[in-house]
Chain A
């Protein structure tokens, strides 16, 4: 059930014909367009337009830069309903060689565990040497899916990556990681799952002819649970360990919201609050 460590030979990515690189992207509500639902007073994500998760552009750039260095192919994948092909088109427009939509009614309602399981089976199915993901998604931002994919397949993982440095001669990928209080440089055996830090890469603009092709003539692969050998009750709502037990609106902390004109006035107020001596 949970992905056993696959018996991959260590020198999976030989240098000549380059690496098989997979970029996992996601379609999310456009956070700039998420308005407030007047009656519930809560963020109304339902009818905000769906767009490519912004951190995933860094992932696509990282994936394409690896291919530019060592050759091979970049395939974009996304898990979602048929409308999610828009984000695959944007990935192909940016330069990905191919794309696959992982779509099946059985996947609906999956939390981190089954989602990373389905994606793990997909990247295994595609024989990936390197899997690149965005650090987080703007709608759930847990950042747990990339490590989940690596764990399902028993592959190496590199998170909070600010720079990638492929080492084809060693069959490894080195990366500069942002860790508490500084940085480290880590080399990982292939296959490896990389989560790139948001804002550290310069996503390249899509070429004119590639954008035309991606939006009008390109057809992504479609992979269902059967194609991936996934049993329906290993994914979806009931295979998800966590569920939402309840929701309550948060009472905002009430603040004075007093405007003061001069520093002296502010310091007097702070002195009255007893937070500074004056």
Chain B
């Protein structure tokens, strides 16, 4: 239902009736697409099928033709592309103005946005002009019988799941953290319609100017099978953790404390303001186990915790716990894994 059908004349159809389609914002930087966008396209496909609506990928950037094609392969029925140098690199005001123009006449029913820094920056900016209902950090999505989005997110520190609804306003917007949903494999032979939309923004209108940008490719811990996470207990000394991660062929991840202290890059942060991971094995070294952290790693299959504080909350969320100094335990684990006899073991 691309544009509003002519409703009956006297009562103009409410915003809810005119809205249709599920949109997913595809976040890319210089053509490099964030994995969370593909995750949301897979989830968006499911919601669109439940609603009997189209799944629309929204791509705003420069030279993003092949991003649009990949979006079709990954399930989009249609792609709206705003392609212009003004959109590279990402800036809130040009993207906001362009989104507003698109939404003016084709009101999407649902808009899904990745909960990255860029995604949150964008969502806050566009929710206002669209007078949309915006729910942040959603962990579950569903639609009820009359097509209303049910966005569930942890409230009160994570031990309660609140269902947020948006009865009278469209679009219903939600930001979702990386790793919450899984990505389906692309189907190259899928067909879809790519529409190049009018670009309504010029550089002269821009309110901000990106003067420098130094960005390396971001580690993607969301689909790692094994993870070694470091927390405040490491006091910044990550040698033993890196060695253990190597021995386990695991990705290094971190609690917010380790990221705030600057020991680990933010892209490796697990938790409410970081990523959600679901590895087979999650080893937490010196992680206290704050609720906001547990929220990001609770889907792990097997959780191991090493902490010298027997009361650390992490032990409540671990299958196996070793109460001890990680600077002793981690090296012994590494040597044991590399097949040599554990020296301590021999002496006992």
Contact = CB atoms under 8 A, between A and B. Distances in A.
- Do A and B interact directly, with beta carbons closer than 8 Å? yes
A77 to B, nearest CB: 18
A266 B267 contact: no
Contact of B320 (A187, A188, A260): A260
A182 B216 contact: yes
B320 A269 contact: yes
A242 to B, nearest CB: 4
B316 A178 contact: no
Interface in B116-154: 116-118, 120-121, 123-129, 131-137, 150, 154
B217 A255 contact: no
A146 B92 CA distance: 12
Contact of B117 (A160, A185, A188): A160
A143 B124 contact: yes
Q: Chain A interface secondary structure, helix, strand, loop or mixed?
A: mixed
A158 B154 CA distance: 27
Interface string B248-285: 10000000000010000111000011000000110000
Contact of B161 (A192, A198, A247): A247
Nearest to B32: A181
A257 B315 contact: yes
Interface string B202-220: 0000011111111111100
Nearest to B261: A199
Contacts of A187: 208-209, 211
A193 B315 CA distance: 41
Contact of B267 (A34, A144, A180, A255): A180
A147 interface: yes
A177 B91 CA distance: 12
A238 to B, nearest CB: 9
A148 B124 contact: yes
Contacts of B299: 253
B45 interface: no
Contacts of A141: 136-137, 272-273
A178 B303 CA distance: 30
Interface string A140-166: 011111111011100111111000000
Contacts of B129: 2, 151
Q: Chain B interface secondary structure, helix, strand, loop or mixed?
A: mixed
Given A155-B207, A241-B132, A259-B323, A250 B160 contact: yes
A165 to B, nearest CB: 10
Given A156-B93, A187-B211, A189-B207, A275 B302 contact: yes
Contacts of A150: 92, 124-125
Given A143-B124, A144-B136, A245-B163, A189 B208 contact: yes
Nearest to A273: B302
Nearest to A155: B207
B19 to A, nearest CB: 13
B218 A147 contact: no
A116 B127 CA distance: 11
B210 A159 contact: no
Interface residues of A, number: 77
A142 B136 contact: yes
A275 B215 contact: no
A50 interface: no
Contacts of B106: none
A151 B128 contact: yes
Contacts of B34: 180
B336 interface: yes
Interface stretch (B71-79, B166-174, B184-192, B231-239): B166-174
30 contacts: A41-B159, A43-B157, A111-B133, A112-B134, A113-B128, A136-B273, A142-B137, A145-B124, A146-B124, A147-B124, A156-B207, A179-B118, A180-B267, A184-B213, A184-B215, A186-B209, A186-B211, A188-B209, A241-B169, A243-B164, A244-B162, A244-B165, A259-B323, A260-B321, A261-B322, A262-B332, A262-B342, A263-B333, A273-B319, A275-B302
Given A113-B133, A181-B218, 14 more contacts: A144-B120, A155-B207, A157-B92, A157-B93, A180-B116, A181-B216, A184-B215, A186-B91, A242-B133, A245-B164, A247-B163, A252-B159, A257-B321, A270-B281
Interface of B: 29, 34, 89, 91-93, 96, 116-118, 120-121, 123-129, 131-137, 150, 154-169, 207-218, 226, 248, 260, 265-267, 272-273, 280-281, 298-299, 301-304, 315-323, 329, 332-333, 336-337, 342, 344-345, 348
